[in-house]
Structure 1
């Protein structure tokens, strides 16, 4: 039997002093292994992987949707007591902050290479049979949490970052979150200098009306490099045992670490928010919370002191950021007269090379201008109608390596969580499908605490779903397999005529542009499989 947990107690003076100096705390043994085992009991089922067969670990890092919640005050009372103390008391916290969810972030490490593939050289040097992880300074995922609001020095939306460990997390390549405490001052001073607010990526309003849409993490990478130049001890790995909980100042710059050991790492990021913004002008200075005191210390230089913030206030309204609707790519095979189906199925059969092209393109992540991310990109999305879903043989459902969204009139509009990272997720309309992808919610497997990564959204049929997609402004591209011969008899058509003569508001792109977008050298010219002759094309909207 595991020993009973110690009762919740106030932070020690040493802990308070450490938080004010370093901006984080590590609390050991806040919940038991038995509690963690119960909370994570169905993780492998939900992942669709085997705990004992690493060949099934096909994704490096997975943000899981939540299925249940538990009260932090009873699950981890020491952690909850510390959260309340750091933020100035439970009465200052949004009541929802007390609820933790099983929206686990599972880091499995890079998938094993397929047979015949070579190990990625970027994995680093070998260390006792394991690749040496890259230097922390070279991670490219550095950020501050909160991609759903415009940031101010006193923002209440992100009061604290909490990292409970639901597995042991090993040092040096165990996938631990990496902290850069020395960068906190730079973030705080940047926010102080911009009371008009900045984007989650620290872009200022002076950078244009679309400043809040800035996606580059370059600002953070530069700050981390500047703060740690010549300082090999400037980083902290959030390692520990099951039940340990890290509490981080909301402006703590951090990054996902590489799990080159391929040791299972399971954490969560329960959100903590305030009822009202932080205050730096309390009448009684003793009423300032530890988080407020740390912010004031970080935002002020040695020459002006914390009193300099008493007159600070925001100069623009607070804003929540709603992600832009995703760009939609329709992918379809159609005859010269745009026929796509007959009697509930495809008019043609055994186009294996064409189906392989479909699978490759819909699985492949978008190319990034930045260096390789420290985490695997999110799964691309395939959106289809219920009839298309039913037409897929059960052994191939859901389509592997992609999140499957199925539009069905009988589905609930509340978007229930998927069974695994590939779904399926049944939604009542195409609009509900897009809401599912854009609303920043842990319930959707899209962490509100992680920087966004590009994912491509493909509409794969049938005709009604294609028509609904074409009415949306996000429909910008059609990947068309033009079936040239024979002219198959069809009773269902694609709802857009694409002809080389133009005039439809769509233009056919070149072979080079098709290659660049798909990320492969697409076979050129007329392809033949059996009696069927076809050609791969890409069309884009011009207006």
Structure 2
């Protein structure tokens, strides 16, 4: 890598390349997490101490508080720069997805657009992560997927509460990156069928439940197949999953190997190549518009 790591250690970088994700701890001030999650209960009209007021098992909230990552999490921003190859490789524009509903993407901001798992599936058996647990997918319903796509440059998770075992933590399949990378390499025309990725979980054998503490920031390769899980813990899980858009598509054939980002190195590792001259054979068809 040409850039110097700011936050990640060499072991962190190696873990991302080989396993497709890295955890960075202490990326959210606990006082800010409490403030925003307390406000979330008020916005929902729920009493945090009265489960009878929790009318929905899981809620996807709109953004209310919004802040630059640099301001509220310098460590988180530095980690993003470490993985992407530098701030200049992150798209700083504000974009609005033109899909079933309008969603704003700004790779430089975090917000309180929480996914709040109050008690989803507590009345059902808890299944460990496996193909049988279901719900596996790759994010990105708003673009045609290519091996080098920039639109879902990274999958990220911010935990705004402690997440214990069986507490609604995200399920991941680390070896899915190899499966998805080879699938996309075999389809240079791109893939529009989002369900096609979920079916690839049957080829995977590595599964993990991502638990954690308030302030944990988990940065995952965009090819990571993942799924939500049921919450049997009695604790409420607050998380956000802000997307990261790259300024340019991944370059898997850089002249200087030191210029590869960790994302590109992880993709090449999954393909078993030192470099790969990928060229899409169909238009990219981005479905968004720049609004700022």
Normalised to the residue count of structure 2, the TM-score between the two structures is: 0.87
Number of aligned residue pairs: give it: 271
Give unmatched runs, 5+ long, in structure 1.
Answer: 1-7, 113-119, 125-132, 202-216, 229-233, 323-438, 440-543
What is the alpha-carbon distance in structure 1 between the residues aligned to residue 172 and residue 54 of structure 2? Answer: 26
* Residue of 259, 280, 290 corresponding to 1:314: 280
The equivalent of 2:85 in structure 1 is 88
Task: Provide closer, same or farther for how the CA distance between residues 165 and 20 of structure 1 changes in structure 2, counting only shifts above 3 A.
Answer: same
Q: CA RMSD in A?
A: 1.9
Task: Provide closer, same or farther for how the CA distance between residues 52 and 153 of structure 1 changes in structure 2, counting only shifts above 3 A.
Answer: same
Task: Provide closer, same or farther for how the CA distance between residues 140 and 220 of structure 1 changes in structure 2, counting only shifts above 3 A.
Answer: farther
Mapping of residues 117-266 of structure 1, within 5 Å: 120=123, 123-124=124-125, 133-137=126-130, 138-171=132-165, 173-199=166-192, 201=194, 217=195, 219-228=196-205, 234-266=206-238
The equivalent of 1:100 in structure 2 is 110
Mapping of residues 441-452 of structure 1, within 5 Å: none
The equivalent of 1:278 in structure 2 is 250
Q: Does structure 2 conserve the Cα–Cα contact (< 8 Å) formed by 1:174 and 1:261?
A: yes
Q: 3-state SS of the aligned residue for 1:297?
A: helix
Task: Provide closer, same or farther for how the CA distance between residues 170 and 144 of structure 1 changes in structure 2, counting only shifts above 3 A.
Answer: same
Deviation (angstroms), 1:184:
1.2
What is the alpha-carbon distance in structure 1 between the residues aligned to residue 179 and residue 114 of structure 2? Answer: 30
Q: Does structure 2 conserve the Cα–Cα contact (< 8 Å) formed by 1:68 and 1:101?
A: yes
Mapping of residues 6-155 of structure 1, within 5 Å: 9-95=6-92, 96-110=106-120, 120=123, 123-124=124-125, 133-137=126-130, 138-155=132-149
Deviation (angstroms), 1:48:
2.2
Deviation (angstroms), 1:108:
0.7
What is the alpha-carbon distance in structure 1 between the residues aligned to residue 113 and residue 193 of structure 2? Answer: 22
What is the alpha-carbon distance in structure 2 between the residues aligned to residue 43 and residue 162 of structure 1? Answer: 21
The equivalent of 2:102 in structure 1 is none
Q: Does structure 1 conserve the Cα–Cα contact (< 8 Å) formed by 2:28 and 2:160?
A: no
Task: Provide closer, same or farther for how the CA distance between residues 92 and 220 of structure 1 changes in structure 2, counting only shifts above 3 A.
Answer: closer
What is the alpha-carbon distance in structure 1 between the residues aligned to residue 253 and residue 91 of structure 2? Answer: 21
Deviation (angstroms), 1:299:
2.6
- State the 4+ residue runs in structure 1 displaced beyond 6 angstroms: none
Q: Which has the higher contact order (CA 8 A, sep 6+)?
A: 2
Q: Does structure 1 conserve the Cα–Cα contact (< 8 Å) formed by 2:138 and 2:198?
A: no
Q: Does structure 2 conserve the Cα–Cα contact (< 8 Å) formed by 1:66 and 1:102?
A: yes
Decide which structure has the larger Cα Rg and report it.
1
Normalised to the residue count of structure 1, the TM-score between the two structures is: 0.48
